[in-house]
């Protein structure tokens, strides 16, 4: 998939290899796909497909039975299987997803450092509108000082730290994210360097034995915490 080969690629030229019609909406399958399909806590990519004389909006990339499919607003009868199209990614949206999702991995890694062991996997790990959230059992993260975690996150982000994603040698077909001495198995998309996340703030919500840790990007403050 192009989004794994280069998660910073924003354009490509390819061919429509399938058109699925479901409930009045057209879903396209492309030979080479730039658009990350929703899953693993990240939202599906948006963008546009253009060809001579036509254009459609990609509303959301999703996981289909045989790989990614693109939900579109296509109505143009000229859009047929075999059509060559120019794909453009909504890069601002994608980068926002990658920054917030990577911030969750940094958060999880630093909770591990604070506990001296890996915390339980979050029961929820999602990029939402304007923030991202990891949810943990309160009993697992009670000893953690989250104001210190926030300070450490910002220190590492300010300094910069490379983050790599490579195929997982232990699990063929899976991928693993690595940074600051931690490894997290993940099939998502990530920034190459943690500095790209930019300054963050944390907000905690405790409910029913769980702690939800929300990460906000300071560059987008104005969103209510």
Binding residues (CB under 5 A) for Zn ion: these are 186, 188
Q: Tell me the pairing of strands 67-72 and 54-64.
A: antiparallel
Which single residue brings its beta carbon nearest to Zn ion? 186
Q: Tell the smallest beta-carbon distance from residue 223 to Zn ion (Å).
A: 22
Q: Tell the smallest beta-carbon distance from residue 165 to Zn ion (Å).
A: 8
Q: For Zn ion, give the closer residue by CB, 83 or 188.
A: 188
Q: How far apart are CA 157 and CA 174, in angstroms?
A: 27
Q: Tell the smallest beta-carbon distance from residue 146 to Zn ion (Å).
A: 21
Q: Tell the smallest beta-carbon distance from residue 137 to Zn ion (Å).
A: 21
Number of helical H runs and strand E runs in the chain: 4, 13
Q: For Zn ion, give the closer residue by CB, 15 or 174.
A: 174
Q: DSSP per residue over 24-65, as a string?
A: TEEEEEESS--SPPSBTTBPPP-EEEEETTEEEEEEEEEEET
Q: For Zn ion, give the closer residue by CB, 79 or 103.
A: 103
Q: How far apart are CA 125 and CA 202, in angstroms?
A: 14
Q: For Zn ion, give the closer residue by CB, 28 or 104.
A: 104
């Amino acid at each position: 998939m192009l989004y794994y080969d280069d998660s910073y690629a924003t354009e490509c030229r390819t061919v429509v290899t399938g058109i699925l019609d479901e409930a009045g909406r057209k879903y396209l399958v492309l030979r080479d796909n730039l658009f990350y399909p929703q899953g693993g806590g990240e939202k599906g990519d948006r963008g546009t497909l253009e060809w001579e004389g036509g254009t459609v909006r990609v509303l959301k990339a999703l996981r289909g039975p045989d790989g990614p499919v693109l939900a579109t607003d296509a109505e143009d009868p000229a859009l047929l299987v075999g059509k060559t199209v120019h794909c453009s990614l909504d890069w601002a949206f994608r980068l926002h997803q990658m920054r917030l999702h990577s911030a969750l991995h940094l958060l999880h890694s630093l909770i591990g450092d604070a506990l001296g062991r890996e915390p339980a996997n979050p029961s929820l790990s999602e990029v939402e509108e304007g923030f991202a959230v990891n949810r943990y059992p309160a009993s697992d993260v009670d000893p953690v000082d989250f104001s210190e975690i926030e300070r450490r996150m910002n220190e590492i982000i300010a300094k910069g730290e490379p983050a790599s994603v490579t195929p997982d040698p232990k699990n063929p077909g899976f991928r693993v994210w690595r940074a600051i001495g931690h490894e997290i198995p993940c099939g998502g998309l990530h920034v190459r360097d943690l500095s790209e996340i930019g300054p963050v703030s944390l907000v905690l919500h405790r409910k029913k034995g769980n702690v939800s840790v929300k990460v906000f990007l300071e560059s987008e403050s104005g969103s209510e915490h």
